[in-house]
Amino acid sequence: MTGETLLSKYITIFFVVTGYWIVSITTVFVNKTLLSHIDLDAPMFINFTQTLITVLICYGKKRLSNVYPNRFKFPDVDVWDTYTLRAVLPLSLLFTSMISTNNLCLKYASVAYYYIGRSLTTIFNVVFTFLILGETTSKRCIACCIVIISGFWLGVDQENLAGSLSIPGFIFGILGSLSLSLFSIYTKKVLPKVNGEIWALSYANNVYATILLLPLMVVNGEIGQLYHYSRFTEVFFWGIILAGGICGFTIGFFTSLQIKYTSALTHNISGTAKACAQTVLATYWYQEAKSLLWWSSNLIVLLGSACYTWIKQIDMEKRHRSDIVYQRV
């Protein structure tokens, strides 16, 4: 590989990782604004608009691929096909639960607390991977999980002592972690059923989630609130709604790009570092003063998560080498 080619590769990786950071952090702050600062208590409607915008973008790309097949590519998927519906709908139920609980956590908790509140995803992932897939976890990874749990409880304790702990935010954070863990595990099981096509799965998943969110809006009493909402015709309102929807779509795009141009391990490390930067930025933006122990809880969670990812990658590489040796024998 020439120096120029290597340089161009590093430049591409830099812009992809930078794009992921910008979009991911922006998405969290935009969602926080939508959920807490527009005088509208309609979290299911906000989820609905974001999944709907993703569906429209995917549908537009699908249509372009039909008209200009040489310039645009999109997998051939029929979301109303019985096989696709049966394969993806269970995943869409988890996805709907995940985005609903995530946004509810963000609604009741601060952006600074959001990472701590959602930090149990790794713990649930270990538990459900064993219960559902039958895969065991090494003792070193379990030790990292204990570190993460200790950081989580320290953060909760510090929020409680500061008088800023939100019980609904705490509960929805745990439920969000649980839903995300199950969603990640079932994604691995469902993806082969759509020929491994990420775009096809994303399209079908968001179509079903959009439909599932409609009755949730009704049950949550949001239809009446939307009808009487005084700012419903304002450009700012729809502008930030559109921004949230585009962010929701773009974060999935940049996540795929980051994994493609780096690796799953690098993506996890990047996500962990991004969460740290997001927490620092949130405390500055919202002018929140935090104690030394509160910052320590964040550091403990971040270090535990980073070590878990690193050890997990080493264990996977050892297993891969063992499988190669076994096949040769």
Q: Let me know: does 147 contact 311? Beta carbons within 8 Å.
A: no
Phi-psi region of 196 (alpha: psi -120 to 50; beta: other; left: phi over 0): left
Q: Give buried/exposed letters for 314-323 (b at 16+ CB in 10 A, else e).
A: eeeeeeeeee
What residue has token string 């974060």?
251
For residue 4, being part of any structural domain is answered with: yes
What local confidence, expressed as pLDDT, does residue 60 receive? 92
Q: Which residues of the chain have pLDDT under 70?
A: 1-4, 37, 256, 259-260, 263-269, 272, 319-329
Say which DSSP state 130 is in: I
For residue 190, being part of any structural domain is answered with: no
Q: Let me know: does 184 contact 158? Beta carbons within 8 Å.
A: no
Q: How many domains does the chain have?
A: 1
Degrees, nearest 5: CA angle 152-253-46: 65
Task: Provide CB contacts within 8 A for 252, sequence distance 6+.
Answer: 54, 202
What local confidence, expressed as pLDDT, does residue 159 receive? 86
Q: Let me know: does 176 contact 102? Beta carbons within 8 Å.
A: yes
pLDDT cut 90: percent of the chain above it: 16
Domain that holds residue 271: 1-40+229-279
The 10s digit of each residue's pLDDT in 138-185 is: 888 899 899 989 988 998 898 888 888 889 988 998 998 888 888 877
Q: Let me know: does 172 contact 108? Beta carbons within 8 Å.
A: yes
For residue 88, being part of any structural domain is answered with: no
What local confidence, expressed as pLDDT, does residue 259 receive? 67
For residue 123, being part of any structural domain is answered with: no
* CB under 8 A, 24+ apart: contacts of 231-238: 231/38, 231/39, 231/40, 237/38
Token duo for residue 178: 């649980």
What local confidence, expressed as pLDDT, does residue 69 receive? 84
Q: Let me know: does 90 contact 186? Beta carbons within 8 Å.
A: yes
Cα 261 to Cα 263: distance, rounded to the nearest angstrom: 7
Number of Cβ within 10 Å of residue 70's Cβ equals: 6
For residue 265, being part of any structural domain is answered with: yes
For residue 93, being part of any structural domain is answered with: no
The reply to whether the predicted model has a pTM over 0.85 is no
What local confidence, expressed as pLDDT, does residue 150 receive? 93
**CA atoms within 13 Å, Cβ hemisphere of 165:** 18
Strand, helix or coil at 196?
Answer: coil
Give whole-number Cα distances, 273 to 237, 258, 329, in Å: 32, 14, 41
What local confidence, expressed as pLDDT, does residue 73 receive? 86
Q: Give buried/exposed letters for 219-233 (b at 16+ CB in 10 A, else e).
A: ebebeeeeeebeeee
For residue 22, being part of any structural domain is answered with: yes
What local confidence, expressed as pLDDT, does residue 206 receive? 92
Phi-psi region of 109 (alpha: psi -120 to 50; beta: other; left: phi over 0): beta
* CB under 8 A, 24+ apart: contacts of 56-65: 57/249, 58/199, 58/202, 58/203, 58/206, 59/203, 61/199, 62/203
The 10s digit of each residue's pLDDT in 134-145 is: 778 888 889 989
Q: Greatest CA span in the chain, whole angstroms?
A: 72
